[in-house]
Amino acid sequence: MGRRKETITYPSGTFSTSMSAGNASGMGLEFASQGSDEGQQQQHYRPRVSYYMREQAGNFHYGKQHPMKPHRLTLTNHLVLNYGLHKYMDVYEPRRATEEEICEFHSEDYIDFLKRVTPENQDQLATCFADFNIGDDCPIFDGMWDFSQIYSGASIEAARKLVSGSTDIAINWMGGLHHAKKYEPSGYYPRILYVDIDIHHGDGVQEAFYTTDRVMTCSFHKYNGDFFPGTGAIDEMGSGLGKFYAVNVPLQDGIDDRSYTQLFKTVMTAVMETFKPSAVVLQCGADSLGLDRLGVFNLSIAAHGECVKFMRRFGVPLLVLGGGGYTVRNVARCWTYETGIVCGAELPKDLPQTVYNEFFGPDYSLHPQISGKIVNHNTKAYLNALTARILEQLRYLKGAPSVQMHEAPPDIQGFLESQENHDKDTKDDRNKDVKEDRSGRREHVAEFYESDHDQDDG
């Protein structure tokens, strides 16, 4: 498939494409038919969708050996445009967040450091690295303060539009970097629900709201005590006023489409009925897809998107964010597909032509085969016990009488104990594949690499 020249313009406040071939009719976009359940729901719910992006966001570079590639944003935006989805959204080029806005959460010392540090002067500021968790995973790169302002500003603008009632669903694929803390990088409604389907635990968001009952956090992630960031155990439930308002769904390697979507729908139905949020923030980290460079799940793009589709059906104001995702071509496919879901569009499986066609070969499909490559260690017994434990937590949140809470129910505790010897036997094998950064945090060797397949230039 040959390249085709594209011209994209970015007028103030919005962006558009000059390509007539990328319109909805040209790509054969369809909306769910009236006869289907989904079609009937979409007939009654046609949300106003806003989409946030800045051209510069895809041009930042964490370093040759770092797995995070902001260029995935460029690929996503080109697919979104050439599928014609911009015709069904209000598309904005948001302003940058101000220093004052960012300091409403992050410390002034940390912000001052981000503004001052550059690759050229980093040696002079190296004494601050330990304080701000700077290292291989969070490197110094050109424009890091600018990048922070860009993606933060987009999320702030999206949230304000939701609050004002001028949009129903807002999409910011630049956002969702969920590991950020008050002093560290890493990633107004009365009741906010934060849902995270990244393979890594949403530790930064959980920490930020761990002691409040105004925000509930719900994270679906891999957890074994060692996998980054090492948090997200089932008994991390919140503290003080926030007791029981942190919901963690710790999963094992290899979970498949059916198990994941069934678990997600069961848990989220109970969460929505119990918490009754005024708005939902959905973090759609794509490293939970099969074949992700840092991931160990078996999810297809369709299953990942099913989670977005399910949350959309509630009709609650929704902020959709990006997050992790380190196989660039699949991240772009996934977020494009989910943009279509938000718009209520069924996208053709054949990708539209863009100047980045070579990323998507040899199949050039929206739904490549990426699942089923890892053994599923999530047994039916484990998932049943996990579900029962979470539903018990939520029932307690309601104040239902005669419900006694346990730190871990017998089924879960028994499962963990039965795995203790197995974990001990495999610990040495895991240690072969991890290293410590200069702050002592353990990281998998796959997080830093250099190879011909790195797609560092693409």
CA 205-207-209 angle, to 5 degrees, is 75
* Tokens, residue 154: 């987009």
For strand 30-31 and strand 345-346, is the pairing parallel, antiparallel, or unpaired?
antiparallel
Q: How far apart are CA 358 and CA 362, in angstroms?
A: 8
Our answer to whether residue 179 is catalytic in this structure is yes
Alpha-helix residue ranges (DSSP H) falling in 324-409: 328-343, 380-398
Q: How far apart are CA 129 and CA 339, in angstroms?
A: 37
**Four-CA torsion 17, 23, 24, 28, nearest 10 degrees:** -140
The helices-and-strands tally (H runs, E runs) of the chain is 12, 14
Q: Are 48 and 343 in contact (CB under 8 A)?
A: no
Q: How far apart are CA 49 and CA 416, in angstroms?
A: 43
* Tokens, residue 167: 């949009």
Q: Calculate the alpha carbon distances from 259 to 197, 325, 377 in Å.
A: 14, 21, 11
Q: Which of 66, 106, 178, 179 is catalytic?
A: 179
CA 349-49-33 angle, to 5 degrees, is 50
Q: How far apart are CA 5 and CA 47, in angstroms?
A: 33
The 3-state secondary structure of 52-83, one letter per residue: ECCHHHHHCCCCCCCCCCCHHHHHHHHHHHHC
**Four-CA torsion 257, 259, 265, 266, nearest 10 degrees:** 180
For strand 246-251 and strand 318-321, is the pairing parallel, antiparallel, or unpaired?
unpaired
Q: How far apart are CA 354 and CA 79, in angstroms?
A: 7
Q: How far apart are CA 79 and CA 352, in angstroms?
A: 7
Catalytic residues: 179
